[in-house]
Amino acid sequence: MKMRRHDLPQLLVINPPGLFDYGDPFAAKFTVLRAWESPLPLPRFLSAHAQSAPALLCSAATRVTAGLLDLLPSLRIIVTTSAGLNHIDVPECRRRGIAVANAGEVFSDDVADAAVGLALDVLRRVSAADRFVRRGLWAKDGDFALGSKLVGKRVGIVGLGSIGLQVAKRLEAFGCPVSYNSRTKKPSVSYTFYANVYELAANSDILIICCALTEQTRHMIGKSVLLALGKDGIIINVGRGAIIDEKELVQSLVWGEIRGSGLDVFENEPNVPEELLSLDNVVLSPHVAAFTEESFQDLTELMIANLEAFFSNKPLITPVMDKQ
């Protein structure tokens, strides 16, 4: 028998969806409470409409704090569209017995593709060459400055999780010796392990940031690491902006202490340091490494599968932790 609209499970969404569509696929299976569409302030909306909602669908734009959880006494599951969890107070969720599911490995291939693309762009100066042609400088100034090849470059990966592993696999095809730093050494891989990022940088031509943002990784890439990377080194960030001390990165780029950088993420998004905008050795991307039409389709299916599993009392597909 077809379920009536008012019998559908309640699903709370606080912030507007942005590129990810919370539309028809979710509306067909859940009563979606769209807080951002209400003229009421959020606390009043939650008090009036969402205190009985057992499920929250959110993105990294939604800060899930103890204060927010206090307003949602019936909440039992949070499904986030991101792989990262720095926007969710996970220990507090654990304490309250609230399950959390994330995007798992949905974005891993796309982010890995983007990381390699940024590295190629910085080394071969693709974006800079495009600007050179568009500004009419080819006809006016003649030859464009040489870039450098990716083949054979020593690549250090910070964070050898699902994304980092996919980056490593792609770079093997370029003949790049791969090394890494991670919380623990991975017995399943043969890449060289360095226990700290300083040693990794000192033994790399390219440093690629793939790890999550935590209190331990915030500003992990600072002045000493950048100096260890050296004047011929480049740094790629597809993790989170605050993993790098952005002021130190800007200074290193402006002063020529490193060769270049490819950045998909920034410390205070969407604000980008003005000094970076005029540098031809920097490639900038608006935090879209994970986003493709294919990944969004896969993400929609995964989010719905996690929610349906929860409401059917089945194991979550991509649990961050189990309900307690």
Active site residues: 240, 269, 287
User: Which residues are bridge partners to 89 per DSSP?
Assistant: none
Distance CA 219, CA 267 (A): 10
196 touches 188 (CB < 8 A): no
For residue 260, give the H/E element and its range.
strand 260-263
Burial of 41 (0-12, 13-18, 19+ CB in 10 A): exposed
**H helices within the chain, ranges in order?**
24-27, 42-45, 66-70, 90-96, 108-124, 126-134, 137-141, 162-172, 197-202, 223-229, 246-254, 293-311
Distance CA 208, CA 210 (A): 6
Closest CA to 303 of 3, 11, 73: 11
Q: How is the beta sheet containing 206-209 ordered, strand by strand?
A: 192-193, 178-181, 155-158, 206-209, 234-237, 260-263, 282-284
The span from the first CA to the last CA of the chain, in angstroms, equals 33
